[in-house]
Amino acid sequence: MADRLLPTLRDVANAAEVSVGTASKVLSGASGVSAARAQRVWDAARQLGYRRNGIAADLRRGRPSSIGFVLPDLTNQFFVDIARELENHALEHGYQLIMAHADEDPAREMERIRFVMSRQVAGMIIIPCRGYEHAIKEARECNVPLVMADRVDETFPANTVTTDSHGASRDGTAHLIALGHRRIAFLVNTLDLVNSKERADGYIDAMRRAGLDSFIQVVECGMTAAEIHASTLDVLSAAVRPTALFAAGNVTTLGALRALRDANLRLPEDISLLSFDDAPWMAVLRPYLSSIRQPVEAIGHAIWQLMLKLLSGERGEPAHLTFKAELLVRESTARVPEDVLALQRAQAAARR
Amino acid sequence: MADRLLPTLRDVANAAEVSVGTASKVLSGASGVSAARAQRVWDAARQLGYRRNGIAADLRRGRPSSIGFVLPDLTNQFFVDIARELENHALEHGYQLIMAHADEDPAREMERIRFVMSRQVAGMIIIPCRGYEHAIKEARECNVPLVMADRVDETFPANTVTTDSHGASRDGTAHLIALGHRRIAFLVNTLDLVNSKERADGYIDAMRRAGLDSFIQVVECGMTAAEIHASTLDVLSAAVRPTALFAAGNVTTLGALRALRDANLRLPEDISLLSFDDAPWMAVLRPYLSSIRQPVEAIGHAIWQLMLKLLSGERGEPAHLTFKAELLVRESTARVPEDVLALQRAQAAARR
DNA sequence: CTGTTAGCGCATTCAC
DNA sequence: GTGAATGCGCTAACAG
């Protein structure tokens, strides 16, 4: 022990008067050691306060015991939910999840991926952020099992698990249209994110199908609360403002709500709001927000299953799993009020 | 390289026709290598797609490059905010933050601490969960710099950083009292959490000072959304219900709001609500929630400063840093309506 | 069953 | 400047 802070396996072996090999066997739970000596080892370990050095063990064994998970935003409930799912699955299967946070910053994402890789993880799960191309190249080149989720599409040359964003968005838009809305603004953080792009496309698709091409309004709001707030305020202060807002995500919805509040518009009397992504706090709003809920459990489970398969050595064509989201019609989406419609008609007529 | 997945330092050295020692010097940025050979090494590394094995490096160097952070709940905005602060500071100082999530489960917390320790971190930062005694003992025995935050008090034999819960809670309660409230119920997850206990004590303190001893009502709601929801509903359905609710935290506030919604009570006309902990979603509620905001940045910074000091080898008496929280009076706390007061008086008279 | 030995990938002496 | 040699703490393969 001497001056070292932590006792090592050798210290334990010495104290128990056995060889390091024997001590190792005992402490790593392998069989083939007599009960008496095993007890001696346990005692010595306890007495010395021995802690096994996991990185040394992994290094020696060559088979790491942890899985890396890089997520883009800890503020986004959806990602956090996925993290919890993954963590539970990983722990259940004897793996440790080592989480890293990219904070929606491609440069940091790169750093984080490098770090996690340098920890010699057995596999990597990544929900990328915008401009992630370099980062992902980095990850792919490491030859470790890689599963990408959420912000990817099927063109990606790796295993992916996603929500059917296009379909969900189309359905959501159709719901608004069915309520009589025409001027529906689609608020999205950025079209640089594949899934955001898909959500926007789903919206556009639905609008086109309904013959509402001329009412299509996709607004790129940005990633930060301040940007989203400002953009939405812009939209709301237009001469003729939309009768419904469709926010493409968790965070965007929050920003939109803030703007709605500032503009003093009531939900759903003055304007309807549909949120892509559900979140706990939405339940306490009046009105209760209508939203699109992604099947977090299923997604988390699928990601993990894919990872397990890869871990077991199966390679081959990458799989692309997609899940359907659920439209939750609650109170924030309503029929367009007659007076608003009348006003709009009048304005349109006047302009002609 | 042969069959190994990733090229090793030796592979690079071989390819560059230098020794491993030289290659190591180049790739770890040390000086004392001629430009020509350095270039050869870099080229070889790039060509082979070399990735340095961080755990091997740490192992050899004996000086780990990461700091562990164990937090109890990813769902709680406050903890996540702290995590972001810490991560920024750590990265800035050349450390990597390795996060682990205890999920409010003491057993899991123990596991996570063990895991993080086994990764040979240079230091540990822990926000404990309920019943954390074993876990912390574990952490302390590892002889690594340890900073505990939030859910600890000054009796703890380690460095701590906390909010002045007692004072903040007292001030919040005083604010409600000043608005004419007497029946103020204090909703808390559990008194097993030191800071929750302190918050409750602050409330009790303020009530006593105002001579409202007989109105003191502390309700232990539990940690889960369902439990909190049920407990609050209970409180609200009492024969004579409180005119104000003081929720002791983020998550409790959410549960309380859900119950308020179910009970069909309007804020603040029917009842006032004060939240310990602020959160982004509170800004979109009508009314905007009055809350107590903990100084996250300052706390995060202080935790990191303490850690740096410990890392630099300074030991000695553990420090106990405390920060003042800020009372944000917004719209959810209002004067007790006259009719409610009259009703209560009448009921009280009738019962006499 | 047990102890000895040889590395995992790397950083760091120390000779040259 | 450079390379050979020595372990960090541990596991696994082997010989007794």
The mean pLDDT value for B39-58 works out to 93
CB proximity A80 to B under 8 Å: yes
The mean pLDDT value for B177-183 works out to 97
CB contact under 8 A, A286 and B261: yes
- For A252-304, the pLDDT digits (tens) are 999 999 999 999 999 999 999 999 999 999 999 989 999 999 999 999 999 99
- For A157-203, the pLDDT digits (tens) are 889 999 999 999 999 999 999 999 999 999 999 999 999 999 999 99
Bases of chain D with protein Cβ within 7 A: 1-5, 7-13
The mean pLDDT value for B245-259 works out to 96
- Angstroms from B120 CA to nearest CA on chain A: 7
pLDDT band at B226 (very low <50, low <70, confident <90, very high): very high
Give the pLDDT score at A3.
39
Instruction: Please state, in angstroms and rounded to a whole number, the distance separating the CA atoms of residues B83 and B78.
Output: 9
Q: Report the 10 Å Cβ neighbour count for A42.
A: 16
Q: Which nucleotide is nearest to B118 (CA to C1')?
A: D9
Q: How far is the CA of B95 from the C1' of C13 (A)?
A: 26
Give the pLDDT score at B339.
80
Q: Which amino acid is at B151?
A: R
CB proximity A289 to B under 8 Å: no
Q: How far is the CA of A20 from the C1' of D12 (A)?
A: 12
In chain A the domains, ranked by start, together with CATH numbers, are: 9-52 (no CATH), 65-161+296-322 (3.40.50.2300), 165-294+328-350 (3.40.50.2300)
Percentage of chain A modeled with pLDDT above 90: 82
The mean pLDDT value for B188-214 works out to 97
- Angstroms from A243 CA to nearest CA on chain B: 19
The mean pLDDT value for B43-68 works out to 92
Mean pLDDT of chain B: 92
- For B291-329, the pLDDT digits (tens) are 999 999 999 999 999 999 999 888 888 999 999 999 999
Percentage of chain A modeled with pLDDT above 70: 98
* Strand boundaries in B27-154, DSSP class E: 66-71, 96-101, 123-126, 146-149
Which residue do the tokens 């939900």 mark?
Answer: A267
- For A136-160, the pLDDT digits (tens) are 888 888 788 999 999 998 888 889 9
* More confident call, B203 vs A132: B203
Mutation to test the A interface, candidates B47, B70, B74, B143, most A Cβ within 10 Å: B74
The mean pLDDT value for B236-259 works out to 95
pLDDT band at B192 (very low <50, low <70, confident <90, very high): very high
Is residue A1 pLDDT above 60, yes or no?
Answer: no
Q: How far is the CA of A120 from the C1' of D15 (A)?
A: 33
Considering CB atoms only, which of A51, A99, A100 is closest to B118? A51
List Cβ neighbours of B95 (8 Å cut-off, separation of 6 or more).
B65, B66, B67, B122
| A79 phi and psi angles, rounded to 5 deg | -65, -40
Is residue B290 pLDDT above 70, yes or no?
Answer: yes
Is residue B207 pLDDT above 90, yes or no?
Answer: yes
For A:216-255, CB contacts with B below 8 A are: 225, 254
CB contact under 8 A, B254 and A281: yes
Instruction: Please state, in angstroms and rounded to a whole number, the distance separating the CA atoms of residues A322 and A154.
Output: 9
Give the pLDDT score at A136.
81
Instruction: Name every chain B residue with its beta carbon within 8 A of the beta carbon of A284.
Output: 254, 257-258, 260-261, 285
Instruction: Name every chain A residue with its beta carbon within 8 A of the beta carbon of B74.
Output: 74, 80, 83-84
Q: Is A289 helix (H, G, I), strand (E, B) or coil?
A: coil
Residue A275 pairs with which residues in a beta bridge?
A: A247, A291
Of the candidates A183, A187, A188, the one whose C-alpha atom is nearest the C-alpha of residue A241 is A183
For B:186-215, CB contacts with A below 8 A are: none
The mean pLDDT value for A103-131 works out to 93
Instruction: Please state, in angstroms and rounded to a whole number, the distance separating the CA atoms of residues B307 and B93.
Output: 11
List b or e across A3-20, with b for residues whose CB sees 16 or more CB atoms inside 10 angstroms: eeebbbbebbbbbbebee
pLDDT band at B4 (very low <50, low <70, confident <90, very high): very low
Is residue B2 pLDDT above 50, yes or no?
Answer: no
CB contact under 8 A, A5 and B143: yes
For A:37-56, CB contacts with B below 8 A are: 49, 51-56
